Amino acid sequence: MSDVSAIHRPAPASPPPEPSVRTLPLPTAHKPSRRKEILAPLGLVLLGLVLLLTAFKLYPVTAEHPTPPFPRLFIDTDSRLRAIIYKVDPVSPGKAMMSIELTLDGSPPRDGAAAGLAVSSPPGMTFVDCSGSSCKKHSRNMGLVFKRDGDTFKAFAEFPMKTRNLGVDYNGVSASAAFPEINYQGRGTPTLYVGYHIPSASRYDWASYPPLSTDGYNTVWEEAVPRGQTVGRAAVGTDHDAQASEDNRIFLAGALFALAGGAMLTAVPEALHARDWAALRHLGQAARWSRR
């Protein structure tokens, strides 16, 4: 009986097979190529540099000049003057000729007519080619005798100058010309004529002191000189077309500066984005190695 029961005893049930565990791969996002990761921020930086250089080249570099200095004239005469002509002509780079002409109003008395003239140069202008106690570096004193010139009587003086500034400044957009300060001790109210060489002078709008005449290069102003002191000043002109063109260039240059800054600033997050993709790629490689 024991043998029969042993034969018919049910065998122990075998344990069910363990289900196979399969690791699903992590979802991967679309990865740009490494070349694109580098080229994107690099291209933005290069674009910003090109825009920046173009803006610097486009931005006008017109130099602003200060008001030119003016000389001082002292004229003393017992006669009545009709005109005082003041001119400064360029001779060579760094040299100029200042000329002063006095014209009588009517005929001189029988014993003739004379005038005393003192000239004081402004800073940056010095007298040259002169000698004697009356000739100093920044001042000249001399007596003038009126001589007949046609129907008038005139006295004339010339002063060679060494100068960095001829009394006039221009930069293509604005120009200014200095009127001398005059201390007149004489009779009558003469007219002062101030003449300068200014290239393209007719293109400037001399609203403050319109010139008496201009031929595009020689420009002459006039004003009355009463007895006593007449202060020096400057006539200022503006080329409105050139100024409008300069304003447009400034606007375009400003826009390019803004675009250049935007391109360079955009390159920073692009570079950080590329770094994040590189970090994610390394993380994926580490995960694959761990599964092995």
How do residues 46-99 score in pLDDT, each as one tens digit? 766 766 676 556 555 555 555 677 889 999 998 899 999 999 888 888 888 999
Tell me how many degrees the CA angle 154-84-131 measures, rounded to the nearest 5: 75
User: 159 and 86 in contact (C-beta within 8 Å)?
Assistant: no
Q: Is the pLDDT of residue 126 over 90?
A: no
Q: Is the pLDDT of residue 195 over 70?
A: yes
What is the structure's pLDDT at 180? 93
Give Cα separations from 76 to 100, 114, 127, 171, 271 (angstroms). Answer: 14, 9, 21, 37, 80
What is the structure's pLDDT at 62? 52
Task: Please tell me which residue, 121 or 54, carries the higher pLDDT value.
Answer: 121
Q: Is the pLDDT of residue 214 over 80?
A: yes
Q: State whether residue 41 is helix, strand or coil.
A: helix
Burial of 163 (0-12, 13-18, 19+ CB in 10 A): buried
What is the structure's pLDDT at 107? 77
What is the structure's pLDDT at 17? 58
- Tell me what percent of the residues of the chain surpass a pLDDT of 90: 22
Per-residue pLDDT, averaged over 262-289, amounts to 57
Distance between CA atoms of residues 157 and 138, nearest Å:
16
Q: Is the pLDDT of residue 9 over 60?
A: no
What is the structure's pLDDT at 230? 92
Per-residue pLDDT, averaged over 32-50, amounts to 63
What is the structure's pLDDT at 274? 53
Distance between CA atoms of residues 142 and 122, nearest Å:
18
- Tell me what percent of the residues of the chain surpass a pLDDT of 70: 56
Burial 18-51 (b: 16+ CB within 10 A, else e): eeeeeeeeeeeeeeeeeeebeebbeebbebbeeb
Q: Return the top range by mean pLDDT from 17-26, 170-179, 217-226, 281-290.
A: 217-226
Residue type, 239: D
What is the structure's pLDDT at 24? 47
Per-residue pLDDT, averaged over 20-38, amounts to 53
Task: Please tell me which residue, 112 or 132, carries the higher pLDDT value.
Answer: 112
User: 86 and 103 in contact (C-beta within 8 Å)?
Assistant: no
Per-residue pLDDT, averaged over 162-187, amounts to 85
What is the structure's pLDDT at 18? 54
Per-residue pLDDT, averaged over 107-124, amounts to 83
| pTM of the complete model | 0.63
Which residue, among 146, 128, 25, has the nearest Cα to 75 in the 3D structure? 146
SS (H, E, C) 90-106: EEECCEEEEEEEEEECC
pLDDT band of residue 201 (cuts 50, 70, 90) is confident
Per-residue pLDDT, averaged over 214-238, amounts to 88
What is the structure's pLDDT at 1? 47
Specify the length of the chain in residues: 292
Per-residue pLDDT, averaged over 248-260, amounts to 63
